[in-house]
């Protein structure tokens, strides 16, 4: 049985850094990276719990693959939206007002 302190600390660091990236950054790509760090922290936690107690959750071995697939699709969609906004506005800064708001 593994000690869960290391994976818990790693998951907490990933979620904390991701949350700081989402809340403090103005760049849309960096916000997207923050969301991905939060998902990575959740995955580390899910995998470490499934290794420590394999009989507790039978679906915990499939869940990380499912979340990684959804995260990959989310990144592709978000980058397409960010690229469209950049072509329209010339900036991906989230605090910059758009043309309609001026």
Does any domain span residue 96? no
Does any domain span residue 100? no
Counting the structural domains of the chain, the total is 1
3-state secondary structure at position 66: helix
* Cβ-based burial of 41 (10 A; exposed 0-12, middle 13-18, buried ≥19): buried
Does any domain span residue 98? no
Does any domain span residue 28? yes
Secondary structure letter of residue 90 according to DSSP: S
Does any domain span residue 62? yes
Per-residue pLDDT of the chain (102 residues; tens, 9 = 90+): 668 899 999 999 999 999 999 999 888 888 999 999 999 999 888 888 877 776 656 666 677 888 889 888 989 999 999 899 889 888 888 777 766 555
CATH code, 15: 1.10.287.3510
Structural domain harbouring 13: 5-89
Does any domain span residue 99? no
The pLDDT value given to residue 58: 65
The pLDDT value given to residue 1: 60
């Amino acid at each position: 049985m593994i000690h869960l302190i290391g994976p818990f600390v790693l998951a907490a660091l990933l979620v904390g850094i991701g949350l700081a990236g989402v809340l403090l950054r103005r760049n849309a790509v960096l916000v997207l990276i923050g969301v991905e760090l939060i998902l990575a922290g959740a995955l580390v936690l899910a995998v470490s719990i499934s290794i420590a107690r394999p009989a507790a959750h039978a679906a915990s071995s499939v869940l990380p693959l499912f979340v990684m697939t959804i995260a990959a699709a989310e990144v592709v969609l978000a980058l397409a939206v960010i690229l469209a906004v950049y072509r329209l506005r010339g900036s991906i800064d989230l605090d910059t007002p758009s043309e309609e708001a001026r």
